[in-house]
Structures are given as structure tokens and as C-alpha cells.
Structure 1
């Protein structure tokens, strides 16, 4: 019986600690902010990526790995730069997490082409050591899908 009283005494101490006026206001404002971000995330349409040839679903927005833009041409070999182009190039590919449909990944390869399961169309490449995006950023490990070989659909 003493242990039950001790436990109930501890809960009342915890409840009284939670009832500090400044903390409750902070907790309420934090809850409001999280509710607002939930609403904003629901408003954002989800992207689905499909193989351009057979329309099989390949990836969704949740599986995309974002990367910071590199410096563009300056990130590549200095002998090949001309300096004529100004501005940041658009990324022509997306990087995703490894997925079950990627057979070479499942087979244990370190680097290989990624092909669609439905039609065997080459969608991109992967390399566990990483690879450089056309914007100049390095992504490690890299599971790269070329945007020109995918169709984007908003849900």
C-alpha cells in the first residue's frame, strides 16, 4: 500500500510541476505551431514519379533525398570551365532512398544502372560511394533518377 501512495504522490508532484503558468503558455503555443505545420503539409500536393515508358510508379515525394545546390560549373574540372555561363543550373535528376524495386541494390552491387521493373528502361544510376549532381553537389550514397526519364504527377 505504501508503494501505491508513493506513486500517487509522485504523479501529483509531476502534475503540479506541469502547471507552471509560463510553461503551459509555451506548450500551448508549441502545439498551435505544430498544428499549423500539419495543415500546411496537408495543403502541399504530393508528387508521384512514374517511368516515362510504362507509367509504373517508381518513387514518391517522401522518398526523395534533398541536397544543397553546388556551385555549378565551378565544381567540375577547372580546365573545362569557360566562365561564360552565369547562374545556377537546374538539377536534371532526383536522388531517392534505396527501394525494393532496385534489383542491383538488392543483389549487393556497389554501383550499377537502375532499370524499371516493368519495361527494363534505364531510369538512372546508383553508387554507394556517391556521385556528383549536375548542379555540382555531391550526394553520398547516390540513387539518382533522371528527370527526363520520369513523369511527375501531383496527387
Structure 2
């Protein structure tokens, strides 16, 4: 039996995903920087004051990605415990970080949390 590499059935590498600042297009994260998390229970995970009041119980799609700390995050380098994350190029606000953690809109708790808002990023497949 021939192996896949000699028969021409080589598996193609998965397309790489990078995230760029929407404003200046600087690369801020790549697929391998993302910290995966399991979906929470949506609004059921939040205190009743933070719920929207609808009967919607399904978990919403995550509006943010969570990444590992990176060198471009100046506030992290300065030793802050929690702070806004700004693009190194244009100083646009991209997200927020908190070493104590924070809750994703899907209800999952991420600790420590380095959150980048998808609405402030362009997702590019290369």
C-alpha cells in the first residue's frame, strides 16, 4: 500500500487566518495566537441585570477573539493589570485586557483575557 505523499494525494495545508486593524491594516494577530474557549450558556451565564430580557436562550456568536499577550500590546508591557488595547500603528482601540479575566458575550469566562473586538478587525485568509 502506497502512502499519501507518494501517490499525489498530499493534504493541502489549511489556509492561514490573520487579523488586521481595520483602520491602518497592521497585522495584530494570527490564527495561532487565538486562545480557544468553549461556548458558555449565553445570557443564562450573566447576572439578570446584564440580560437583554428576551426569551432567547441560545448562546450568541462570539463578537470578540481572545489572544495570548503579544509584544505590540504596550499597556501589557507597561505592567498594567487591566487596560484598553490600542493598535500600535494608528492607536485605534482594538479591545481590552484584564489579567483577572473577563466574560465573553457567549457566557464563557476567559482568564487571563486579552480581548480583540471582531468589529475592529479585518479577518484575512491567506
TM-score by length of 2: 0.87
Quick one: which of 103, 114, 117 aligns to 1:143? Answer: 114
C-alpha distance 52-80 of structure 1, shift in aligned 2 (>3 A): closer
Quick one: which of 98, 117, 125 aligns to 1:127? Answer: 98
Q: CA deviation at 1:87?
A: 2.0
Pairwise CA RMSD of aligned residues? 1.6
- 1: distance between equivalents of 2:80 and 2:39? 28
Greater helix share, structure number:
1
Count of equivalent residues: 117
Q: Is residue 110 of structure 1 aligned with residue 78 of structure 2? A: no
- 2: distance between equivalents of 1:125 and 1:80? 19
- 1: distance between equivalents of 2:23 and 2:49? 38
| Aligned counterparts, 1:9-88, within 5 A | 43-81=13-51, 82-88=53-59
- Higher RCO, 1 or 2 (CA under 8 Å, sep at least 6)? 2
Preserved CA contact (<8 Å) 2:21 2:87: yes
- 2: distance between equivalents of 1:128 and 1:110? 6
Preserved CA contact (<8 Å) 2:43 2:57: no
Structure 2, unaligned runs of 5 or more: 4-9
Greater strand share, structure number:
2
